Amino acid sequence: METQAVDTVNVIQNGAFDLSIMSLFFRADPVVKLVILGLFLSSVWSWAIIINKIKIIKKLNIVTKKFEEIFWSSNSLEDLYTKTESKNDHAMISTFNKAMIEWLRIRGTKLKDQMESRLNNTLNSSINNEMTKLEKNMIFLASLGSSAPFVGLFGTVWGIMNSFQAIGITKNTSLAVVAPGIAEALFATALGLIAAIPAVIAYNKISSVLDNYSVRLETFAQEFVGRVTRK
């Protein structure tokens, strides 16, 4: 850190002080550079997750709506299962297919009296598995949203420590001495907030949408059990 403070003083004395983002990054202490780079990469990854989730949810709602319409208009669940048994890449269709496998297996056996409870167990297990898949990477968004500001704050503290060292070396308390370290510090803080805010907003919104979809799957499960048990 002392070496970095000396470098900062030299930059000021040579009149080469530059507040551009790239200059702040390349002139920063290695620790601050690591913080900035980590926050930047985390932000990029979080946006990749957010965009991917938006695409998945959009497709999920479209396919779900179509399948529900087909499910209620279909007179034969066996025929519907024949058409969809190979399409298990969609949450509701996969849940339907697993329930159909269980129903076809037990409907002509002595286990028929246990049909409702066994179907409910199969459906609940399938719903949990599908929601686990849909919620993949959501923990990263939550973790980034809660930790990024503190990581940025760590970079801030480190940058301010550089500024105090620069003051000690030059024996000068002017703004020109402390400005480089403070600029690096504030850059780390800003980047921490830039990474955290979209992650928090996206996590809350996507979680709410997925919670609603989970309820939708549970409602479908109840409707499926009611329909096959009435038969």
Nearest alpha carbon to residue 81 among 95, 91, 65: 95
pLDDT tens digits for the chain (231 residues)? Answer: 545 444 544 444 444 455 566 666 667 678 888 888 999 999 999 999 999 999 999 999 999 999 999 998 888 889 999 888 877 788 999 999 999 998 888 876 666 667 888 899 999 999 999 999 999 999 999 999 999 999 988 888 887 777 777 666 666 666 666 666 677 778 888 899 999 999 999 999 999 999 999 999 999 999 998 888 776
The model's pTM: 0.79
Nearest alpha carbon to residue 207 among 157, 144, 146, 137: 137
**Where exactly are the structural domains of the chain?**
2-75+137-230
Specify the pLDDT at position 107.
77
Q: How far is Cα 157 from Cα 184, in angstroms, rounded to an integer?
A: 10
Tokens of 174: 């002017």
